[in-house]
Chain A
């Protein structure tokens, strides 16, 4: 005699079988779950699903924040304060959403790096890569539009600078800038537009892009390390089962990252910041870490053509990423067998890191092994004498100054 649980399951199975072609659906799910992955599939392959999990986390926390958030210049900042201070667990969901955005961009970058260095973007998976790069760009736009919503000083001026970049594009730039902003400068119209794009348009775009990306990935299977055109299907006896082996790895990483997400939310909360003041640009404002290389690069291009040149150079990595599978048509996939691609990839990562670090430390004071350095706007350190260093220390240690500088992080000690 079947138990109560089995009877309920049988009833539902019978209900579905009577109405739909369930054997086909069951067969499809079974094949997907027990798919054999290439033998080299391991921990580096979990970043794609990790990005997806973080995207889901952003959707859930985003919906929760939407319940209390109000997208007007008068109420936006106050509603964020209300969410943080008064709403039950509001502080947690706001922090998880803010940190989730950062971790999602990091996960997407790591996933792209893995795909690049393993040569997975090569034929026949070029379109999967291109859609992946578009997903990366959409994720960054997600970060940019969401950044304005708290309507604080940092978000207001970061948006001003960001949209001015689009305004510098020849001919269509000013038109684009007005269209994006909804007015001549950052205003309530901009907040409404960014809000609509952030909560309605981008989530659906990302949903469909991710769906196509997953369908392409599943239908073409994961790439092996064999050269293009020499790939052989993985025999069942030597492949890695998706369920339970790979899914267990993904589960482990997901749990660890969710732990990191909550830990960061509790131990390193994001500031609410001062409300936006359209008449006062704060000192030494810096963008989020993923915009730091661009921010630093823009400083080096001076002169009448410097602005457009700087922006042009900043766009190069994105264009290169989009067309890379069509530029690199060599057959080997293993990074050691394609030294030029690997060198370019490593050099790009080092350059991004280098300019990012310069951007982070520029216009600040750094104490290293007892010696204080003043880092100028270009990131060049200048040693300063002990007396000046003490004065700098006193200035930044002052409680009010310290509060003011929390966003700017002007003093770094090692």
Chain B
């Protein structure tokens, strides 16, 4: 049942206040939202698959390693006695780049004492995950890495 004018708490001033607050919010939003969107970084969406040649297999010693950039990602490629392996060179702890240690045949991070085995699994130190592995293929003596 509708309220009579005496019972209603709505006032003309209250209604005008509501209009002013609503318009201010919309105006503020139209100013602030584009500014926030402007600050958001422009990044590519979706996975980007890249396959790149990184050198000749013949020029590569067993237990030799190379750090290369494939599709703008740092990749560590190692030639083991069983073939080539490739991992993301970004340590899963805090983003430093890992190095291959040919003496201990493991992968170490210079920042917070992490070590990974030759399969990229965490051997010691603080990393929460193994290194991401990438596919390596050898075609007509040339080595390709796919990220």
A161 touches B129 (CB 8 A): no
Name the segment of B1-9, B19-27, B37-45 touching the other chain.
B37-45
- Cβ-based interface call for A317 (8 A): no
Compute how far the CA of A281 lies from the CA of B97 in the bound complex, rounded to whole angstroms.
5
Compute how far the CA of A305 lies from the CA of B127 in the bound complex, rounded to whole angstroms.
9
- The interface residues of chain A lying within 8 Å CB-to-CB of B110 are 281-285
A280 touches B128 (CB 8 A): no
Q: 0/1 per residue, B111-134, Cβ < 8 Å to A?
A: 111000000000011111100000
Compute how far the CA of A298 lies from the CA of B111 in the bound complex, rounded to whole angstroms.
10
B41 touches A299 (CB 8 A): no
Q: A282-B110, A299-B112 are in contact. Are A160 and B126 (CB under 8 A)?
A: no
- The interface residues of chain B lying within 8 Å CB-to-CB of A179 are 39-41
Name the segment of A29-37, A181-189, A327-335 touching the other chain.
A181-189
- The interface residues of chain A lying within 8 Å CB-to-CB of B111 are 157, 161, 281, 285
Compute how far the CA of A282 lies from the CA of B111 in the bound complex, rounded to whole angstroms.
8
- The interface residues of chain B lying within 8 Å CB-to-CB of A321 are none
B95 touches A164 (CB 8 A): yes
* Nearest CB of chain B from residue A257's CB, rounded to whole Å: 33
Interface residues in B72-119 by Cβ distance below 8 A to A read 74, 89, 93-99, 109-113
Compute how far the CA of A189 lies from the CA of B42 in the bound complex, rounded to whole angstroms.
10
- Cβ-based interface call for A214 (8 A): no
Compute how far the CA of A192 lies from the CA of B134 in the bound complex, rounded to whole angstroms.
32
Give the bracket for the number of chain B residues in contact with chain A. 20 to 34
- Cβ-based interface call for B61 (8 A): no
Q: A178-B41, A179-B39, A184-B43 are in contact. Are A281 and B125 (CB under 8 A)?
A: no
Compute how far the CA of A298 lies from the CA of B43 in the bound complex, rounded to whole angstroms.
30
* Nearest CB of chain A from residue B68's CB, rounded to whole Å: 8
The closest CB in chain B to the CB of A408 belongs to: B110
Compute how far the CA of A300 lies from the CA of B111 in the bound complex, rounded to whole angstroms.
13
- Cβ-based interface call for A278 (8 A): yes
B41 touches A181 (CB 8 A): yes
Per DSSP, are chain B's interface residues mostly helix, strand or loop, or mixed?
Answer: loop
How many residues of A are in contact with the other chain, CB < 8 A?
A: 40
Choice from B43, B74, B126 contacting A302 with Cβ under 8 Å: B126
- The interface residues of chain B lying within 8 Å CB-to-CB of A182 are 41
* Nearest CB of chain A from residue B98's CB, rounded to whole Å: 8
Compute how far the CA of A189 lies from the CA of B41 in the bound complex, rounded to whole angstroms.
8
* Nearest CB of chain A from residue B59's CB, rounded to whole Å: 19
- Count chain A CB atoms within 10 A of each CB in B67, B97, B127 and give the residue with the most: B97
The closest CB in chain A to the CB of B98 belongs to: A281
- Cβ-based interface call for A267 (8 A): no
- The interface residues of chain A lying within 8 Å CB-to-CB of B127 are 307
- The interface residues of chain B lying within 8 Å CB-to-CB of A302 are 124-126
Compute how far the CA of A184 lies from the CA of B125 in the bound complex, rounded to whole angstroms.
25
Compute how far the CA of A281 lies from the CA of B67 in the bound complex, rounded to whole angstroms.
11
The closest CB in chain A to the CB of B89 belongs to: A279
Compute how far the CA of A307 lies from the CA of B129 in the bound complex, rounded to whole angstroms.
10
* Nearest CB of chain A from residue B125's CB, rounded to whole Å: 6
B126 touches A183 (CB 8 A): no
B96 touches A279 (CB 8 A): no
* Nearest CB of chain B from residue A295's CB, rounded to whole Å: 8
- The interface residues of chain B lying within 8 Å CB-to-CB of A163 are 95
Choice from A278, A282, A298 contacting B112 with Cβ under 8 Å: A298
- The interface residues of chain A lying within 8 Å CB-to-CB of B109 are 281
A306 touches B126 (CB 8 A): yes
A–B Cβ pairs within 8 angstroms, 18 of them: A157-B96, A167-B95, A179-B39, A183-B41, A183-B43, A280-B67, A280-B97, A281-B96, A281-B99, A281-B110, A302-B124, A305-B128, A306-B126, A307-B93, A307-B126, A307-B128, A308-B128, A377-B113
Give the interface of A toward B (CB within 8 A).
Answer: 157, 160-161, 163-165, 167-168, 178-179, 181-185, 189, 278-285, 295, 298-308, 310, 363, 377-378
